[in-house]
Structure 1
């Protein structure tokens, strides 16, 4: 039974599945004989539908449907379906799509599948990748690995079109933009860089058509309520409008003219005057071009940013290959190619290229390894025997030829010869002189596995028996040498005992994957066996050097006293952190502590327990709070420095602040929070470019706070310590000394310690937390703590109130980045 490998493009709007046996690539169509399957689920009172029928029914009755859930992967935003007792998670919805796609394979093919590669956008963070793996587990798909969509697209391009040179893959799907830059040389591809935008795709076009063309037409033509979009009576209307807008968009791409059209029978609603509603809004290329201009501009900027990251200019690139449904619209191809000054090409089917590339890549994965590494490119066999021969060879290559090398463990008799024959084609190398270092070029007649047999003859021409005499060489469709990391990943550690937190990088964006290594740390605190104390290895994703908390929190590997039976991990004890990052970017990590003879593993993939549990259908106020905090920070910086990045950051925050605090659309809330993350990244860039001025601003702000709120409550010794720290911080600014952040943290900590002694401050803090339910995930626990705190406040029981406030502070979502990082770093860089 021959091995088969599967590739699945799990898309926002459409998904597809392919298989590959090393020679033949096959796309498996839906029951309707479509190449792609809509990522949609619909439940009626009797059955569940997945795919095309579900998508069509969803337009009529959105309450019973699940669509676009890929955009919410890695969160616990509930997907509520009318008639179901409990909401679904995004992972459960994705599992339905995966299960349906895998069901397209005949039973005999499913039995042959050795492993399945599922693609994810390059912009996906660790939580989203982990959620995708959980979806595959729920679907019951056996051995699974992830790979970035742009890598899959590159594999598909290399398989479809031989030739050397640098090319860009511009993959615009329903939900995301992925950009990949690759160099192909003789069938081998080096992925130079990839980037993209997480929430940018055809779905956004549909909304622009609905909001800017159809809704104004409806308001002019019919008597609708002032805020009809929020009126439950008209909810179905706007759902079917989105569906009709997508139909019109696709029709415009293929025919050049279209209309967003819905008959009275399809709408089945009346306006305030009793008139039957219908929709008939022409859609021209000029109108759509104007609507999507901003999105295209953002996508072109993303391509330029990716090119700049590897120092490429347009003349260095041979072509830009278009992948994804929206790229079938000619304006996209023409504008992107023209603006970048690079010739456009359609080397592959835009709708199925990612699934095809994933299947090709799946063949290269070593499915017997726990880490899902790639199969070895080189092989060897020990021929043994009296001559102590061994044979080394290139085991995997996209070339039609491979090489075999003879190695001898001792002296070889004069006149001895060897020969290599193909077991399929009758090709033979003929007899060659046998010597140490002899090579022969083997002809690979067919894609996939090619089998050969080696023969050795003595000086008399008689055969010499070999212990192993057969080898298999795979002629691959394409081979990728390395995959650049899409995000920087680092461990938070103190720069010295009592110092400031910084990131020690596991991998930087652009570094080749897979990657493994070891880092050395020391314990900043003692942990005794059996105690509740812990050492925390906190992982962050991002490039922001300071503050660390402005990066995206991934997760934490904790070593607690409960994890080892005896002994003490003393302060200063050596901690050896071994890590491995797969092609997909997923992390495996373990920490060895020689002093207690223990090894502690990360287990499942890292993800943030808090961010993974944010419900974006009720996160409007949370987003608004964070956007306002970052806007205040931006305004303060803008008063001190002038930098074009500030204007970009302000634009991102303006988009986020446009979200109503009571917004219930999870897509809009998630997109707004992503804009806040982008603004923070830009502000970090401003800080690094104007470090001295911004450090002075931060110091002035801290001092002003102390003078206004703290000094009168501080003891003389605390006032003196604060003043000394200010002078040290001022010197650090002048000397451009990294110790500045240490002094700043010391002063901020001093402020908190003094205020925490004041009953009025604790009471005020409780009142603030009492008015912020959106900052807590467990609402039951939150209400219980608030009730306990209110009772303590009435009884003037400040000890209990302090305890309650402390518990609330520990449990709230941190404004820095939904980070759940309750405790600071307590490991030190070695």
Structure 2
């Protein structure tokens, strides 16, 4: 793979980055040259579409022609009204993905050598993950994998500088909160625990301002009916007020006092034009959001406990997401959680997309499962000697071990290794079983080496594979944890019809998970018939009250799936499964 792309498909804003093995680059929006693109679509009366900032600015004036916040409805049947059209959340997301992809240079967009990682909240379920992949398919992005947002943020932290210890990712976006505890040791990162709140983000802070500041001010300054918030004639007023409240919230990051102000083009019951002029002080805002912040703090404490740690074991909190630009919020979280340092070492707006692009390099894009590349490789070469190379294929250190294995002893043979990138040469060394060498990795990304073997007369020995590639990586990710338990519905026993779950993966298990399950057919199926066995998949932890879990879908075997014979009741059925890094499942029977 030549290009690695990371996309943060956010509730409020989205971003796109690329990684070439050495450097990460955030690609700005073409029109307004911003690092982030608002996740918004606007269609005018002629049917022309606008995206990003242009669309977002239209939302307050013409919401019926704008689509925003559709990420919150991913994986549901909710339709998004956009002008005269109705779109699914997946279709809206596909349009934003296409627009983001245009920010990339032509050589990347036109290349077949592109691997794309799209991030999803850790709390996303199977339906939401599937919906995100469907959006990517509709956008025509090619090879795509998903990964959890906190893991992407962790990779971005490692880019900023690898330090050993435990750290906490506090990722507060426009719609969700993700909390992750990670351990970093010599460039290898393990995810110890994660938690979050599905509906806690910047939009919820905006709503608090509206409900507690703007609406009371409107009621006290203008003649408005008690139910004005439900009346169509005041919808425009409320939309503009909400937009102005959001702008004021952002300004509080730098100002002690701001005004929510502006014309609304709306009149009260007495015919007076309503003009917004509401003062909002930082101290007032801090009090209003305290309940939401404390809810986030409680989730953070629970996640630390889930990892089996105390706040004193955490070296620092890494803040990610637009709302964490607000220093008062960061200070409150640091103080309440009890971790000594709150860090802003990554760009909170682009950290997730940057980390996703770095993670994309670690994926083996050659197979459909998109699993991670192996850290160690063995290459068979020199069949006449039974020779093979074993080496560290991915290293976070500037050195990697290389070893030669021989199936039979040889006398007088030598070997040499040279760098195809720098011209470095190892010199002649004796060829023997378990001969080892530490190779210097001269640059980040791919390092290429060539191996030559010579017989006792100094003649070169023909090798089937003489080139090796070693990646000097920014970081490697070890354990990624499952956010949800996933199980197959089965009968409790051969003599009982009671349904229980046979789990493929449990919440907190390390991903990716791969395995095999054996089940027994509950009925006989004859070839060519319509008889069927259904394998129902559920997501949740209710092992016995199966239907209290979230139904994911099912896989069906029917008589039409085979041409002769039958599957007898009680026959063994083998099920192979893979649960990948994002928690998405692939099932094969």
Q: TM-score if structure 2 supplies the norm length? A: 0.96
Tell me the equivalent position of 1:705: none
Structure 1 CA distance, aligned partners of 2:275 and 2:531?
66
For structure 2, the 5+ residue unaligned runs are none
Is the Cα–Cα contact under 8 Å of residues 427 and 443 in structure 1 kept in the other structure? no
- The answer for the alignment partner of 1:702 in structure 2 is none
Q: Equivalent residue for 1:246?
A: 246
Contact kept in structure 1, 2:382 and 2:461, CA below 8 Å: no
Q: Within 5 A, what are the aligned runs for 1:407-806?
A: 407-414=405-412, 416-458=413-455, 463-496=460-493, 497-591=495-589
Cα distance in 1 for residues equivalent to 2:531 and 2:386: 58
Specify which of 281, 289, 301 is matched with residue 298 of structure 2: 301
Instruction: State the Cα RMSD in Å.
Output: 1.7
- Write the distance in 1 (CA, Å) between the matches of 2:406 and 2:256: 69
Structure showing the higher helix proportion among its residues: 1
Using the TM superposition, give the Cα deviation of residue 419 of structure 1 relative to its aligned residue in structure 2, in angstroms. Answer: 2.5
Q: Which whole-Å CA distance do the structure 2 matches of 1:144 and 1:455 have between them?
A: 38
Whether 2:11 is the aligned partner of 1:8: answer: no
Query: CA offset at residue 520 of structure 1?
Result: 1.5
CA 1:464–1:536 in structure 2 vs 1: closer, same or farther (change >3 Å)?
A: closer
Aligned equivalents of 2:218, 2:282: Cα separation in 1 = 21
Aligned: 1:281 with 2:269: no
- Partners of 1:61 and 1:155 in 2: how far apart? 39
1:395 paired with 2:393, answer yes
Aligned equivalents of 1:409, 1:570: Cα separation in 2: 48
Q: How many Å separate the matches in 2 of 1:13 and 1:193? A: 26
Query: Aligned equivalents of 2:489 and 2:123: distance in 1?
Result: 22
Contact 1:450 1:472 in 2 (8 A): yes
Distance 1:234 1:565 in 2: 66
Correspondence 1:100-115 to 2 at 5 A: 100-112=99-111, 113-115=113-115
Instruction: Rate the CA distance shift 1:467–1:577 in 2: closer, same or farther, 3 A.
Output: closer
The 2-side partners of 1:469 and 1:481 are apart by 30
1:99 matched to which residue of 2? 98
For 2:224 and 2:259, locate their aligned partners in 1 and report how far apart those are by CA, in whole Å: 22
**How far apart are 1:461 and its partner, in Å?**
5.5
- Give the C-alpha shift of residue 5 in structure 1: 1.0
Q: Pick from 328, 345, 348 the counterpart of residue 347 of structure 1.
A: 345
Q: Distance in 1 between matches of 2:256 and 2:430?
A: 68
Contact 1:502–1:546 (CA under 8 A) maintained in structure 2: yes
Q: Could you tell me how far apart the structure 1 residues matched to 2:136 and 2:480 are? A: 23
User: How far is the alpha carbon of 1:462 from its aligned partner?
Assistant: 5.7
Residue by residue, what CA displacement relative to the aligned partner does 1:114-136 show, whole Å, maximum 9, x if unpaired?
21110110101111111111111
Greater Cα offset, 370-379 or 560-569:
560-569
**Conserved? CA contact 1:494–1:502, under 8 Å:** yes
Secondary structure of 2:59's aligned partner: helix
Aligned equivalents of 1:542, 1:251: Cα separation in 2: 41
Counterpart-to-counterpart distance in 2, 1:209 and 1:408: 72
CA spacing shift, 1:432–1:103, aligned 2, 3 Å: same
Higher RCO (CA < 8 A, seq sep 6+): 2
- Please tell me whether residue 181 in structure 1 is matched to residue 178 in structure 2: no
What is the aligned counterpart of 2:320 among 318, 323, 328? 323
In the TM superposition, what is the alpha-carbon distance from 1:444 to its structure 2 partner? 0.7
Separation of aligned partners in 2, 1:518 and 1:380: 26
Superposition pairs of residues 260-275 of structure 1, within 5 angstroms: 260-262=260-262, 264=263, 267-275=264-272
User: Retained in 2: the 8 A contact 1:323–1:351?
Assistant: yes
The residue matched to 2:274 in structure 1 has which SS? coil
Post-superposition Cα deviations, 1:194-220, rounded to whole Å, max 9, x if no partner, equal 221111100100111111110010000
| Residues 181, 307 of structure 2: 8 Å contact kept | no
Find out whether 1:61 has 2:62 as its counterpart. Answer: yes
SS at match of 1:59: coil
Does the Cα contact within 8 Å between 1:114 and 1:367 map onto a contact in 2? no
For the residue of structure 2 that corresponds to 1:240, the secondary structure is helix
Alpha carbons 1:390, 1:406 under 8 Å: kept = yes
In structure 2, distance between residues paired with 1:433 and 1:578: 46
Corresponding residue for residue 75 of structure 2: 74
Structure-2 separation of matches of 1:464 and 1:575: 49
CA distance in 1, matches of 2:94, 2:355: 21
* Partner residue in 2 for 1:314: 311
Deviations 1:755-793 (A, max 9, x none): xxxxxxxxxxxxxxxxxxxxxxxxxxxxxxxxxxxxxxx
- Partner SS, residue 146 of structure 2: strand
Alpha-carbon shift at residue 418 of structure 1 (Å): 2.5
Whether the aligned pair in 2 keeps the contact of 1:271 and 1:277 (CA below 8 Å) is yes
Distance 2:133 2:17 in 1: 19
Q: 2:378 aligns with which of 377, 380, 388?
A: 380
* Cα deviation, residue 310, structure 1: 2.4
Q: Distance in 2 between matches of 1:89 and 1:465?
A: 59
Question: Once the 2 structures are TM-superposed, how far is the Cα of residue 102 of structure 1 from its aligned partner?
Answer: 0.3
CA shift, 1:464, in A, is 4.3
**What whole-Å deviation, never above 9, does each CA across 1:48-89 have from its counterpart, x for those lacking one?**
10000100111111111000000000012111123x2x3111
Instruction: Pick closer, same or farther for the CA change 1:310–1:223 going to 2, 3 Å.
Output: same
Structure 1 residue ranges, 4+ long, deviating more than 6 angstroms after superposition:
none
Q: Deviations over 1:531-564 (max 9, x none)?
A: 4443221111111234222111111112234433
Asked if 2 retains the 8 angstrom alpha-carbon contact of 1:525 and 1:535, the reply is yes
Secondary structure of the corresponding residue to residue 351 of structure 1: coil
Q: Distance in 2 between matches of 1:483 and 1:81?
A: 38
Give the secondary-structure state (helix, strand or coil) at the position aligned to 2:110: helix
Q: Secondary structure at the match of 1:545?
A: coil
CA distance in 2, matches of 1:217, 1:406: 77
Superposition pairs for residues 157-176 of structure 1, below 5 Å?
157-176=157-176
2:236–2:266 CA contact under 8 A, matched in 1: no
SS in 1 for 2:404: strand
Distance 1:418 1:566 in 2: 57
* Cα separation, partners in 2 of 1:530 and 1:453, compared to 1, 3 Å: closer
Shift of 1:386: 4.8
